[in-house]
């Protein structure tokens, strides 16, 4: 009997994670395998008779289940898999996605820009350097990319970048934009290439969007972009930056976005960094104000029929696709600190800055501490993802944080907090200490906001559940 992998699957591996199956039909989804599973799939090339007695029964017995799961299929002796499906091991650690600022330039003058894009502080890499970086992404097995800026669409070679990524089978998950340059020609060009990535566009409340973006007509432009995407079958998401002037318009913003066909919204407060700090706008909301705002809105979210997927910072998230689930994003589920990375998101998603620096997340691009992290253009991505300060930091464990903070280690919420968000901690300690305490996360737990979410949900949505709500510790809260 001969088997081969179905055409959508490829065998891959990385340092410390040598056995994986990639599903190219589902956004390059990666499933890590046991050694027996890998050995069984390695037989499925169309070259090997799986009935040979030298093949251990423990391996051969896995094949029927793999066939039932739709991973492999029976074939003739001469029906071989495509060379791209054969096993390839990358010379680096695994990174799921690169969130890449392909330019530091922008056509807007956002009052809160932490990377000073209005002045193009970080410029942009040359076309040749960008193409080389794309080669490096492919050589390290980074299979998914989201494109941002500045404003990524201001690059004249934007579609060349798209083509180079697609030629290397790198999936483009999202395009982040202010919407001004989203037009029918662009959408048709992407559709002709067989892709419809999500356009994630900023929307900062009806009546206040132009003010925050620093451009008259910005709201009209982004609303037009949302409509165009809906018309052409492109999914859309939005991000809202909350400040003192628009905080009362969260519900109005959600409902307006739903009218525009948007399917998700993520909210965060304006940070007192970058352009906001330089110009002393000063109209930020306190942590307590923000949490109270979110708690006030949650009942409206359900009254309005869960109109889109929403993430209210680290305090609450829910989606109409799973109406009986909700989450408190900053809360971990009583994890083992020695096995949990201090930032799980950064361990899977790399941010590449406009000047080619490898950072744990985009927020660090507005802080001087970013200079501790390597420039990919100097070190090369393989070294960046094996032996560098970047890799050392994103692989750091929560136990390292707790060792530095005895007051956190003794806290009853430590198994659920594990230090919180590193970018938030940096913002509150002046951008100097990567392992500082996240005051927002601390307040969320110690001042009872997480417990209030659970109490609120028991009242307004008793059928809904979340990881914390299932924990006996939180059932007593």
The pLDDT score that the predictor gives to residue 116 is 63
State percent of the chain over pLDDT 90. 84
Spatial distance between the Cα atoms of 96 and 340, rounded to a whole number of angstroms: 17
On the question of pLDDT at 11 being above 70, the answer is yes
Tens of pLDDT, residue by residue over 238-260, are 999 999 899 999 999 999 999 99
Q: How many CB atoms lie within 10 A of CB 105?
A: 20
Asked whether 20 and 11 are in contact (CB, 8 A), the reply is yes
Does position 477 have pLDDT exceeding 80, yes or no?
A: no
Question: Residue 366: its pLDDT value, please?
Answer: 77
pLDDT at 290 over 90: yes
Task: Look at residue 280 and tell me whether its pLDDT is greater than 80.
Answer: no
What pLDDT shows up at residue 410? Answer: 93
Can you give the pLDDT at residue 285?
A: 86
Domain spans in the chain, listed from the N-terminal domain onward: 2-89
Does the pLDDT at position 279 exceed 60?
no
pLDDT, residue 111, reads: 84
Looking at residue 377, its pLDDT comes to 95
pLDDT tens for 348-403 read 999 999 999 999 999 888 788 999 999 999 999 999 999 999 999 999 999 999 99
Q: Residues of 154-187 as b/e, b for ≥16 C-beta within 10 angstroms? A: bbebbeebbebbeeeebbbbbbbbbbbebeeebb
Alpha-carbon gap, residue 130 to 136, rounded angstroms: 10
- pLDDT tens for 125-176 read 999 999 999 999 999 999 999 999 999 999 999 999 999 999 999 999 999 9
Q: How far apart are the first and last CA of the chain?
A: 59
Q: In which band, very low, low, confident or very high, does the pLDDT at 427 lie, cut at 50, 70 and 90?
A: confident
Q: What is the mean pLDDT of the chain?
A: 93
Mean pLDDT across the stretch 318-328?
96
What pLDDT shows up at residue 453? 97
- Token pair in block for residue 160: 């060349």
Categorize the per-residue pLDDT at 430 as very low, low, confident or very high, splitting at 50, 70 and 90.
Answer: confident
pLDDT tens, 200-239? 999 999 999 999 999 999 999 999 999 999 999 999 999 9
Q: What is the pTM of this model?
A: 0.94
> What is the spatial distance between Cα 348 and Cα 166, in angstroms, rounded to a whole number?
21
Between the alpha carbon of residue 112 and those of residues 164, 388, 454, the distances in Å are 32, 31, 32
* Separation CA 385–CA 377 (nearest Å): 13
The conformation of residue 297, written as its DSSP 8-state character, comes to H
């Amino acid at each position: 009997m001969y088997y081969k992998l179905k055409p959508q699957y490829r065998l891959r591996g990385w340092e410390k994670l040598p056995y994986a199956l990639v599903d190219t039909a589902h956004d390059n989804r990666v499933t890590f395998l046991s050694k027996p599973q890998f050995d069984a799939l390695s037989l499925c090339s169309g070259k090997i008779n799986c009935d040979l007695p030298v093949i251990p029964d423990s391996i051969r017995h896995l094949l029927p289940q793999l066939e039932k799961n739709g991973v492999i299929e029976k074939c003739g002796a001469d029906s071989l898999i495509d060379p791209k499906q054969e096993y390839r091991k990358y010379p680096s650690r695994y990174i799921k996605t690169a969130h890449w600022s392909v330019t530091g330039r922008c056509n807007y003058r956002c009052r809160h820009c932490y990377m000073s894009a209005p002045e193009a502080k970080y410029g942009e890499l040359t076309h040749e350097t960008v193409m080389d970086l794309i080669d490096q992404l492919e050589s390290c097995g980074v299979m998914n990319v989201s494109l941002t800026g500045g404003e990524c669409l201001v690059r004249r070679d934007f579609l060349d970048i798209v083509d180079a990524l697609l030629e290397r089978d790198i999936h483009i998950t999202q395009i982040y934009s202010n919407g001004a340059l989203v037009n029918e020609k662009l959408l048709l060009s992407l559709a002709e290439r067989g892709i419809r990535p999500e356009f994630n566009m900023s929307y900062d409340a009806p009546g206040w969007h132009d003010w925050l973006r620093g451009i008259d007509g910005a709201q009209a432009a982004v609303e037009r972009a949302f409509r165009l995407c809906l018309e052409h079958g492109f999914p859309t998401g939005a991000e809202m930056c909350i400040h003192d002037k628009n905080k009362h318009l969260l519900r109005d913003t959600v409902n307006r976005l739903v009218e525009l066909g948007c399917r998700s919204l993520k909210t965060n407060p304006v940070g007192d960094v970058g352009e906001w700090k330089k110009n002393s706008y000063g109209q930020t909301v306190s942590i307590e104000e923000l949490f109270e705002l979110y708690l006030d809105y949650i009942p409206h979210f359900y009254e309005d029929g869960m109109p889109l997927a929403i993430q209210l910072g680290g305090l609450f998230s829910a989606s109409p696709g799973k109406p009986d689930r909700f989450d408190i994003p900053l809360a971990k589920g009583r994890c083992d600190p020695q096995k949990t990375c201090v930032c799980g998101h950064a361990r899977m998603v790399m941010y590449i800055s406009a000047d080619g620096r490898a950072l744990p997340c985009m927020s660090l691009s507005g802080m001087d501490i970013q200079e501790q992290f390597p420039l990919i253009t100097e070190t090369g991505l393989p070294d960046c993802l094996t032996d560098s300060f970047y890799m050392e930091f994103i692989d750091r464990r929560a136990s390292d944080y707790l060792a530095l903070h005895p007051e956190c280690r003794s806290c009853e919420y430590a198994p659920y907090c594990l230090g919180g968000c590193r970018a938030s901690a940096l913002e509150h300690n002046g951008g100097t200490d990567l392992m500082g305490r996240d005051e927002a996360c601390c307040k969320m737990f110690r001042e009872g906001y997480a417990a209030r979410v659970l109490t609120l949900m028991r009242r307004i949505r008793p059928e809904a559940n979340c990881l914390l709500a299932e924990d006996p510790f939180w059932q007593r809260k």
